[in-house]
Structures are given as C-alpha cells and as structure tokens.
C-alpha cells in the first residue's frame, strides 16, 4: 500500500479532562499517515487520482480546533472516521495526536495517542 504523510500539523484546541484545559486551551500536534493506491496518480499526474493534502488539513483543523473532547483518543477517532468518510480512495489511516504540554507532573517531551483505522 502506498502512503501519504502529513506531519507535525499544529493546532490550538480545548480538549482535556481538566476545566483549565477547556477554558485556556493548548497546542496539539497531529501526524497523519494515509494508505491508498497512488499508482494512477503517479502515472497520470492528476490531483483527482490522489487525495488533496489541503482538504485533509482543513478537515483535521476543523476537528482539533472545534468541539472540545475530554480525551485525545476521541479526537483521533473523530479525525480517522471523518477522513475515511470524506475520501473514497482512502483505505487506511493512522492518526497520531500529540499533547506537548499536558497538565500532569513529570519530565517528558509529550504524550500522544496513535490509532489506525481501515475501511470496512
């Protein structure tokens, strides 16, 4: 299977279980790996034979910067289901939602959730 990657997309959202997160918001980083057949796009050089990266970005932006969720797991699930719904040629997607500054004590770079969903 061929892949398209959109890496380190940065958004500002209001997701979290703590009231402060829902009021103040925070930065979220999203990585996406899309699985589909890119052979025809490569041979024809036609955008309609692939997936428009700008459309993917817009969908993710609407979700991450939109309705607040308690869990980043829910954000990732919403992104995956919306991408699979929006692009008929998409057969699989992996979504990684990174929370660089969660309000938990300790020393770490970030916390993240990664899910993979396929068309059934």
For the stretch 27-64, pLDDT in tens is 999 999 999 999 999 999 999 999 999 999 999 999 99
* pLDDT score for 113: 98
| CATH number of the domain that residue 22 is part of | 3.30.1130.10
Which residues 6+ apart lie within 8 Å of 70 measured at CB? 15, 16, 17
Q: What is the pTM of this model?
A: 0.95
Token pair 């996406």: residue: 32
Is 40 annotated in the active site? no
Residues 117 and 104: their CA atoms lie apart, in Å, by 29
Which residues 6+ apart lie within 8 Å of 108 measured at CB? none
Residues 74 and 80: their CA atoms lie apart, in Å, by 10
Q: Other CB atoms closer than 10 Å to residue 119's CB: what's the count?
A: 14
Range of the domain at 34: 2-118
Question: Interhelix angle for 72-86 vs 53-64, to 10°?
Answer: 140
Catalytic residue selected from 40, 61, 70, 99: 99
Q: Other CB atoms closer than 10 Å to residue 1's CB: what's the count?
A: 9
Structural domains in the chain (count): 1
């Amino acid at each position: 299977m061929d892949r398209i990657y959109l890496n380190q997309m940065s958004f500002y959202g209001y997701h979290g279980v703590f009231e402060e997160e829902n009021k103040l918001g925070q930065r979220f980083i999203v990585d996406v790996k899309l699985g589909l057949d890119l052979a025809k796009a490569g041979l024809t050089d036609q955008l309609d034979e692939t997936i428009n990266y700008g459309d993917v970005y817009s969908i993710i932006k609407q979700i991450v910067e939109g309705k607040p969720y308690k869990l980043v797991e829910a954000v990732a699930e919403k992104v995956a289901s919306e991408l699979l719904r929006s692009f008929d040629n998409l057969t699989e997607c992996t979504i990684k939602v990174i929370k660089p500054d969660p309000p938990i004590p300790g020393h770490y770079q970030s916390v993240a959730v990664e899910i993979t969903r396929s068309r059934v």
